[in-house]
Amino acid sequence: MPRTNMSATAEIQAKHAKYVLSPWLAQGGLVAPVIARGEGSYLFDADGKKYLDFGSGLIAVNLGHGHPKVVAAIQEQASLLGYAAPSLFHDKRALLGEELSAMSPWAGGEGCRTFFTTAGADANDDAVRIARAVTGRTKVLSAYRSFHGSSGTSIMLTGEDRRWGGEPGPPSIMRFFAPYPYRSPFHATSPAEETSRAIEHLERILMHEDPKRVAAILIEPVVGSNGVIVYPDGYLPALRALTEKHGIILIADEVMTGFGRTGPAFASQKFGVVPDMLTFAKGVTSAYLPLGGVLVREKIASTFDARALPCGHTYSGHPMCVAAGLATVRAYKEEKVFERGAALEGVLRAGLANIAEKHRTVGEARGTGAFFALELVKDRATKEPLVPWHGDGPGVMKNLYVELRKRGVYTFGKFNCVMVAPPLTATKAEVEEGLGALDDALTAFEAAL
């Protein structure tokens, strides 16, 4: 591609700073590369510099950048139909719904129907609304140290500081502590103890809230942007059993974990749990166009055959977006992308374990599939976070991401946790390139502390 000059890049950066608000950041002094295109596992800025996308955008570009089948599907749909009201039927909506049912946790059984949204946040909003409508109950429980979106209900379902700006929000949302083996909120000494104490804790909360008033529990099968926490074996099945005991709907937020990120199509399948609803976004189109939705198992979906569904959006099942989604999920199958992503787990696990051993600031490397994170600490023995949880702002952690970009690697993180999640299509060599850059960046970062 033609290279721009540095003054042109600086002009674009200045206009971006003047006219655009960037999410979740203090706006003063922001400077970032001007990204011009993407190809495979790489991004290219306006000056031609190449960056390995080691965070898959925001854990979304599972298929890599610029996949020709998805690009062609978007182009074809644009030439045919740009928009049709969601009350009208459309071929791509029907075909994508069929594909999603076939890969869902209910495949081979009752199946499911999809309510399409534009993002994961409104998918979680709508899943809660459906649960309340079906059960006639109002209360909803979600975990601390979670993120479920930034819209009206989803921001209040969130269990970390991004929720605070949305308060006061909708009532009847309560929170609980989920397992976190590295920093056990239950003072557990083993994974089995962590699970049993976490379930006992949740049972106690349900007792105080009255389980007959609880419509749903919403949980990420693997904690996403809050540090990629993998629950101990047995926790999610025990949670499922508890919801079944009390007639509570279990909603799996698979906005990050869906579409092969942990290995199977959905993390619920990996951990042997069949939820009642499942929310998705991001990977359904490899983030090429905005699309989300709620997979609703048939026994719940059928309750709306005789009464109105209490959800609706102008862009529900937007033709351009579902065309992109259909091409994406077909590419996943045809090119065995989920299997390719699962094969990266060994490379990531071994490489990050080596990095953790070498670097004094790495308290833990953890993850599953192609979904990992490093948690950085001041002291390994005390596990004191390198920066405070709910703190740091544009502080010291920013320096690590700058060091990574110097070495041609992009990723992101939350507080003291750094995400490591390449596209599922990344090669072993590309992953090793990213790990090498991370190793070097940590060396420079630690030297400056």
Q: Is the pLDDT of residue 228 over 50?
A: yes
* Residue 151, domain extent: 70-335
Neighbour order of strands in the sheet with 292-297: 112-117, 292-297, 277-280, 249-253, 214-219, 139-143, 173-176
Q: What is the DSSP string of 116-128?
A: EESSHHHHHHHHH
Specify the residue for token string 């000056």: 47
Separation CA 426–CA 410 (nearest Å): 14
Please report, in angstroms and rounded to a whole number, the separation of the first and last CA atoms in the chain: 38
The string of pLDDT tens digits covering residues 84-114 is 999 999 999 999 999 999 999 999 999 999 9
Q: Is the pLDDT of residue 1 over 70?
A: no
Q: 173 and 278 share a domain?
A: yes
The string of pLDDT tens digits covering residues 379-437 is 999 999 999 988 776 689 999 999 999 999 999 999 999 999 999 999 999 999 999 99
Separation CA 368–CA 346 (nearest Å): 9
Q: Which of 285, 312, 335 is where one domain is finished?
A: 335
The contacts of residue 363 (CB under 8 Å, 6+ apart) are 182, 375, 376, 377, 380, 383
Q: Which of 335, 359, 376 is where one domain is finished?
A: 335
Contact at 8 Å (CB) between 303 and 134?
Answer: yes
Cis peptide before 179, with omega less than 30 degrees from 0? no
- Give the count of domains, the chain: 2
Strand 249-253 versus strand 409-410 pairing type: unpaired
The contacts of residue 338 (CB under 8 Å, 6+ apart) are 259, 260, 263, 264, 265, 332, 424
Instruction: Supply φ then ψ for residue 254, to 5 degrees.
Output: -110, 30
The string of pLDDT tens digits covering residues 184-220 is 999 999 999 999 999 999 999 999 999 999 999 999 9
Residue 103 lies in a domain: yes
Nearest to 385 by CA among 404, 411, 361: 361
Largest CA distance in the chain: 66
Q: 260 and 140 share a domain?
A: yes
Q: Which two tokens stand for residue 2?
A: 């033609």
Q: 143 and 221 share a domain?
A: yes
The pTM of the full predicted model, rounded to 2 decimals, is 0.96
Q: Is the pLDDT of residue 32 over 60?
A: yes
| Range of weakest confidence among 159-173, 233-247, 356-370 | 159-173
Q: Which of 281, 314, 335 is where one domain is finished?
A: 335
Q: 20 and 136 share a domain?
A: no
Separation CA 101–CA 112 (nearest Å): 5
Q: 303 and 355 share a domain?
A: no
